[in-house]
Chain A
Amino acid sequence: GAGVSQSPSNKVTEKGKDVELRCDPISGHTALYWYRQSLGQGLEFLIYFQGNSAPDKSGLPSDRFSAERTGGSVSTLTIQRTQQEDSAVYLCASSTWTGGNTIYFGEGSWLTVV
């Protein structure tokens, strides 16, 4: 597709369940990012994939969060044993790897943990 595609767009889950969020980046983009925005908060960095390099996982808030990127394209963010504080919009973005790049965001996956 033309832009970054995320699914599901909305997810309501019960506390303690696992969820998977998917991101399909712009074709040809080597860098992929996950951010999240909780209600009333800014954009919080979670994880960054760049080509074949080891991902930068420094933003993952706990070991319940993990992400993978298969074949250098699609990425899945997994949250295990969800908690209410995980409720947020999870934003994926991608970019080319050139100096002065900008990143392009998807519309986000809205997660509500009840």
Chain B
Amino acid sequence: DQQVKQNSPSLSVQEGRISILNCDYTNSMFDYFLWYKKYPAEGPTFLISISSIKDKNEDGRFTVFLNKSAKHLSLHIVPSQPGDSAVYFCAASGDFGNEKLTFGTGTRLTIIP
């Protein structure tokens, strides 16, 4: 039962353009969402998060949008840079982050110079 889904296993984007990564969830009890970035042979690193009381959170080039009615969130990276090439994992938890994180299967983003 995959409660957090990332339906695009890979995405290629031209440098300088916007990258949009999508994530859907099924558990209505999730109320805290995060994006992690993973380079090969390294552990995932935290990128950005959003609580269900918000619909948008921005940090520099990264913006996360949350649509609670659609149970959908997205990560926007603009402008995309070659160093953004990595696997991006969406994660969700309940109790505003006090419960364990459930991860999606990841999307491999490749930025084309």
Contact = CB atoms under 8 A, between A and B. Distances in A.
Interface string B94-113: 01111011111110000000
Contacts of B41: 107
A interface SS class: loop
B interface SS class: mixed
Interface stretch (A14-22, A37-45, A70-78): A37-45
B100 A45 contact: yes
Interface in A60-114: 91, 93, 97-108
Contacts, number: 57
Chain B interface size, under 10 / 10 to 19 / 20 to 34 / 35 or more: 20 to 34
Given A100-B32, A100-B96, A100-B97, A43 B103 contact: yes
Contacts of B101: 33, 45, 103
Given A102-B34, A102-B49, A43 B96 contact: no
B105 A48 contact: no
B34 to A, nearest CB: 6
Contact of A48 (B36, B43, B100): B100
Interface of A: 4, 33, 35, 41-45, 48, 56, 91, 93, 97-108
